Amino acid sequence: MKLTTAQALVRWMLAQRTELLDGSQAPLFPGVFAIFGHGNVLGLGNALEEVRDRIPVWRGHNEQGMALAAVGISKATHRRQVGVATSSIGPGALNMVTAAGVAHANRLPLLLLPGDTFTGRAPDPVLQQVEHFHDPTATVNDAFRAVSRYFDRITRPEQLLSTLPQVARVLTDPADCGPVTLALPQDVQAESYDFPDALFAPIVHRPLRQRPDLVALAEAASAIRNASRPLLVLGGGVRYSGAAGRALRFAEQHTIPVVETTAGRTLIPHEHPLHAGPLGITGSTSANVLAGEADLVIAVGTRLQDFTTASWTVFSPDAHLVSLNAARFDAVKHGAFALVADADEGLRELTDVLGSWQASPEWASKALAERTRWDAHITKLRTPGEGLPTYAQVVGVVNDVSEPTDYVMTASGGLPGELIGGWRATGESTMDVEYGFSCMGYELAGAWGAAIAHTQGVVTTLLGDGSYLMLNSELFSAAFAGHGFVAVVCDNDGYAVIHRLQTGQGGAGFNNLYADCTSAHPEPPRTDFAAHASAMGCAVFTVDSLGDLEGAYRKAREVTVAEKRPAVVVIRTHPSSWTEAGAWWEVGVPEVSHRSEISRARDEVQEGKAKQVRYLRSTSQF
């Protein structure tokens, strides 16, 4: 059929279906976020308008924000659906690069369709074109190459025939999953071609479930049998595989304590006796104690980021590592016994091979004992006291009110540590802490996407004043479109967690808290978050004390459901009270400084590095 490139692309998108975790089917692309400009309004814009009754198009107000909302859809649907965002050329396209970085770092699918310059070059230089003196083929869209799992520039309509199958492969493959960028020159969007009907035949994408190599399976099982203190680490790959139940049965059958990574949070019921808590710097002392004593670590579906491994100091240097992962790239890290497989299939076959083997009951009971101590610590932190409320207390109130179908989010600043370390799971896979890229602004934009995808329960996002000011335009987008969520804004007068890092490593407070920033005013202005959120179309609740927070949060939940718009709860919080897991993190402390405090911090870095080196030397890759 004779179609323009843009029409063919849209028609192909409509034909793609996906199988959800519950076995039902849904559109692979549930909708498109768009800001139109001269690079996409006529080609892709007209193509989308033609089918507006078949696929929703949501109007964004900042390209980065709407693309982050698209990422939020992908995470909330456990990678089974893919958010799409389109922009014009130039600044609109470049604004989406950050969102591509978020998707790439977190291994999440995202389809970006930025407009591009003319392939014919007759009108060059066009509005918003950046000219490269030595490469006329380069445009700003080439910036996406560094943060795309798959990149293509469509310079002929028929190129869609070969590239679209690759687009679908990357967006749905458990190992290669990540953002796809199709740069669309505006003249090519409008060109037509006789496309074969087969390109638009409906197709259902089901997750690939690779089974482990039998030799690798035997080696991994042998390593586990020889261990006396094994530890099971569950990451995001378990969530995306839908393998939480399988992982829990594996742990129960073999009496292995379980810890979670950031992406793996809320996979295990909090009160389960084998649950030792979240692992790493923003995790729990309980999980870190077990990690330090384990003689074998079974890492399932995790890329073992530095916050999870405490910069590779959380595990004993004598511990062996078995890594079960759909991506071989991750499975081979740090000399692990690599088991390349889908999490559900890999754990099932590993269970069969291990048979009745079990770890010692004493080791398993240590998980409950350590987590009980950690729970008591968190309960104490949540107890109301004098002065401004702490993050831990705010999180505690939200946690106590939340229900099993609710979904909680954050991304940057101090709140990831509070949610990862202190949250008690209310339901399976009900948390999104974007801590792969830790992108300020994802909290509000991603919540918009999550609210679109999460059809049961209430989406709640927690964020600081810094993130709110960084990117808040999609509050209005969500209010306008009719998608409700609750945003709890904790105002602590600046970038408090970076101030914590700065002063904790011997530096002077500088340019983070407002009190340490340059201003011509003796009393600088404060942001009226309540007035701003109200002006953006949100329901607003201002809280003056911790005692009033529960009532305000309950009302916000009711309003966001009844009125289909965001509800913002604003509360002043303490700038320097944190939940500490007692783990080390490697940061770049200067070797030479005018401050003796920094010199002492450098000595502590060397101590941490020594422990890190002992672990790394025990792996075959050092």
The label of the residue with tokens 């911090």 reads: 601
Alpha-carbon distances of 26 from 77, 208, 239, 242, 295, rounded to whole Å: 11, 17, 19, 17, 44
Domain boundary among 373, 400, 418: 373
For the chain, list residues with pLDDT below 50: 621-622
The Cα 323–Cα 122 span in angstroms is 54
136 shares a domain with 8: yes
275-278 vs 459-464, strand pairing mode: unpaired
**Total tally of structural domains belonging to the chain:** 4
What's residue 620's pLDDT?
54
162 shares a domain with 52: yes
What's residue 334's pLDDT?
87
Task: Tokens for 146, please give them.
Answer: 């560094």
Least Cα distance to 463 among 453, 481, 475 occurs for 475
Q: List the domain range (segments joined by +) for residue 596.
A: 586-622
What's residue 540's pLDDT?
98
The Cα 233–Cα 298 span in angstroms is 6
Domain boundary among 205, 227, 248: 205
195 shares a domain with 110: yes
266 shares a domain with 118: no
Angle 188-189-193 from CA coordinates, rounded to 5°: 75
In a domain, 579, yes or no: no
In a domain, 346, yes or no: yes
In a domain, 50, yes or no: yes
263 shares a domain with 196: no
Ranges of H-type helices in 524-564: 529-535, 546-563
241 shares a domain with 192: no
335 shares a domain with 396: no
265 shares a domain with 329: yes
Alpha-carbon distances of 253 from 260, 274, 287, 361, 439, rounded to whole Å: 18, 11, 20, 12, 39
Residues 227/252, Cβ–Cβ less than 8 Å = no
The Cα 172–Cα 74 span in angstroms is 11
233 shares a domain with 195: no
Domain boundary among 348, 373, 398: 373
CATH label of the domain that carries residue 31 = 3.40.50.970
Element (H, E) at 188: helix 186-190
In a domain, 293, yes or no: yes
In a domain, 38, yes or no: yes
The label of the residue with tokens 């559109």 reads: 27
Task: Tokens for 102, please give them.
Answer: 């978020």
Alpha-carbon distances of 592 from 2, 4, 486, 504, 596, rounded to whole Å: 68, 61, 46, 17, 9
Alpha-carbon distances of 357 from 217, 222, 246, 410, 472, rounded to whole Å: 15, 11, 17, 39, 53
Least Cα distance to 504 among 387, 389, 604, 579 occurs for 604
Q: SS3 of 22, please?
A: coil
Quick one: the chain helix, strand, coil %, rounded to 5?
45, 15, 40
In a domain, 578, yes or no: no
459-464 vs 486-491, strand pairing mode: parallel
The Cα 560–Cα 539 span in angstroms is 8
179-185 vs 110-116, strand pairing mode: parallel
The Cα 586–Cα 606 span in angstroms is 10
In a domain, 380, yes or no: no
Phi, psi of 300 (to 5 degrees): -115, 120
Angle 565-112-89 from CA coordinates, rounded to 5°: 100
Residue 144's CB: how many other CB atoms inside 10 A? 24
What's residue 618's pLDDT?
79
CATH label of the domain that carries residue 305 = 3.40.50.1220
Q: Is 310 exposed, middle or buried (0-12, 13-18, 19+ CB in 10 A)?
A: buried
What's residue 604's pLDDT?
87
The Cα 208–Cα 171 span in angstroms is 12
The Cα 457–Cα 76 span in angstroms is 12
Task: Tokens for 292, please give them.
Answer: 């330090």
364 shares a domain with 456: no
In a domain, 381, yes or no: no
362 shares a domain with 237: yes
Phi, psi of 572 (to 5 degrees): -75, 135
602 shares a domain with 462: no
Least Cα distance to 442 among 98, 80, 85 occurs for 98
